[in-house]
Structure 1
Amino acid sequence: MRIDILHLASLFLCVNLVRSKGCVQLDTYSFDKITSKFTASLIKFDSAYPYGPKHDAFEAVCEAAYSSPDLLIGEVQVKDYGDKINEDLAKKYNVNKDDYPLVKLFVKGKEPINFQANDDKEFTADNLKRFVRSKSGVYIGLPGCLEEFDKLAGRFLKTSCPEEKKKILNEAELLWDKAKGNRENKSAETYVKIMRKMLEKGDDFVANESTRVENVLKGKINKEKQIEMEERVNILHSFSSSRDEL
């Protein structure tokens, strides 16, 4: 009987410890100690048993951020009954029960910033990633995007000198030669082709191409084409003047 009880207890503990991959559970005692070690911390304040599409979107960001050493993804689960775990943290950061799930970005030296989403359609993993990148400067990849190419895109966008743009394009072409696998090669090719078109047609090409791709996405296309177009939108955003905005 003792063995059975211990076995059941261990199973109970395992169930309780199931968490989102890559997400750190925080409480009153660990919050400051852990978040202070990172350049930026994306924290979701939620009920004790979170679920739903917004939670799913946040989970997708948790998994995507595993390769970002400067970014912590954490969750504060709040109980407003019984021992009221983490209720003090919620009050400290002005989070009300009606706000759940509320995502805040903590950046060293700055006041916490709320992630604003007007509706469920805006509370997406990609928008959360854009939020992190624009408000913290910490890189977290969007589907289809490549970090080294995103850096080149940023440089390409900031310079108005055609000769400098050509040099950056040349860097991108050399980097494209080193791409590994079909997926990475396809993304690298897209960055290079956008740079070539911008040199040929000017910076307005990005806005016009973004509109074209968005219209394609509104039509009837298969899943493979949809993914391709969505990734193209993400790469185009790397060349957009609004890349630093949500």
Structure 2
Amino acid sequence: MLAVLVALSLFSQLIYADAINCKGCVPLDSYSFDKIISKFKAAVIKFDVAYPYGAKHDEFAKVAETTYSIPELLVGEVGVKDYGEKENSDLAERYKVNKDDFPVIKLFVAGKDEPVTFTNSDFTADNIKKFIRSNSEVYVGLQGCIDKFDALANKFVKTADTDLKKIILREAEDMWDKTSGRADQKAAEVYVKTMRKSLEKGDDFIEKEMKRVQNLAKGKVSKEKKEEILQRINILQSFKHDEL
């Protein structure tokens, strides 16, 4: 009977823990914080109330679920209490986090003294991922993107040598031929055509195309078309210097 009670107690604790922490998120406190984040190339940490919930928490949970396989990245949460023993309030004070601003996301990058704060008012999983990509050397794939093509896009945009750009384009074309699956083939086509147009129309094509597609996203389109446009925007992000 005692064994059953112990098992039930442990099971209830697991359910309780899962209810207050998103899957893939590591709960951190004043004792574990420095020890754990120092082991990673980058750590994206959400400072929030002790028992977080709501749309923003759900978006952060998506980041944790979709990046769990990236060994260089830690996704963690610090639950701050302003009552009782005020657990983790020292961490909030240390990083100048005000409870009125919860949730607050900060990115800790190895080798840098101060974390970077996520300031985008559009609190979405994709924007948090872009924030990580832009401020660290950790690769985080966005919806609709393919890592091998992202790497080529990054090389393509960073070189001013037209001949080298053509070589990279040829490599992308060969990869496109070998790509399987309708979704990946469609994404590969966007990468290749973006490179072709950039060579044809000049380096400012990508910036102009980004603005054009962003304007399309603001218009009245079907849910399926909207998703397609957003994925195209994500791919175009891979051609920016500050990505990857």
CA displacement, residues 41-80 of structure 1 (integer Å, 9 cap, x when unaligned): 0000100111122212211111121232111000011111
For the Cα contact (< 8 Å) 1:64–1:140, is it kept in 2? no
RMSD between aligned residues = 1.9
Give the Å deviation of 1:198.
0.8
Q: How does 1:1-246 map to 2 (within 5 A)?
A: 6=6, 9-18=9-18, 19-110=21-112, 111-117=114-120, 119=121, 122-241=122-241, 243-244=242-243
User: CA 1:5 to 1:103, structure 2 compared with 1: closer, same or farther past 3 Å?
Assistant: same
Q: In the comparison of the two structures, how many residue pairs are matched?
A: 241
For the Cα contact (< 8 Å) 2:50–2:80, is it kept in 1? yes
**C-alpha distance in 2, partners of 1:153/1:73?**
26
After superposing the two structures, state which structure 1 stretch, 162-171 or 199-208, moved more. 199-208
Q: State percent identity of aligned pairs.
A: 56
**C-alpha distance in 2, partners of 1:55/1:78?**
14
Tell me the SS of whatever aligns to 1:62: helix
After superposing the two structures, state which structure 1 stretch, 191-200 or 4-13, moved more. 4-13
**C-alpha distance in 1, partners of 2:235/2:140?**
13
Give the letter for the 2:139 counterpart. Y
Give the letter for the 2:75 counterpart. I
**C-alpha distance in 2, partners of 1:115/1:211?**
23
For the Cα contact (< 8 Å) 1:79–1:85, is it kept in 2? yes
Give the letter for the 1:37 counterpart. K
Give the Å deviation of 1:244.
4.5
**C-alpha distance in 2, partners of 1:115/1:219?**
27
Structure 2 unaligned blocks of 5 or more: none
Tell me the SS of whatever aligns to 1:104: strand
**C-alpha distance in 1, partners of 2:196/2:221?**
27
Structure 1 unaligned blocks of 5 or more: none
TM-score (norm 2): 0.91
Give the Å deviation of 1:142.
0.9
Give the letter for the 1:101 counterpart. P
**C-alpha distance in 1, partners of 2:48/2:101?**
8
CA displacement, residues 184-210 of structure 1 (integer Å, 9 cap, x when unaligned): 121111101111111111122212222
Tell me the SS of whatever aligns to 1:17: helix
**C-alpha distance in 2, partners of 1:128/1:26?**
19
TM-score (norm 1): 0.90
Tell me the SS of whatever aligns to 2:40: coil
Tell me the SS of whatever aligns to 2:67: helix
**C-alpha distance in 2, partners of 1:29/1:113?**
22
For the Cα contact (< 8 Å) 2:80–2:88, is it kept in 1? yes
For the Cα contact (< 8 Å) 2:154–2:243, is it kept in 1? no
For the Cα contact (< 8 Å) 2:106–2:115, is it kept in 1? yes
**C-alpha distance in 2, partners of 1:220/1:24?**
39
CA displacement, residues 142-183 of structure 1 (integer Å, 9 cap, x when unaligned): 111111211111111111221111000011112222323221
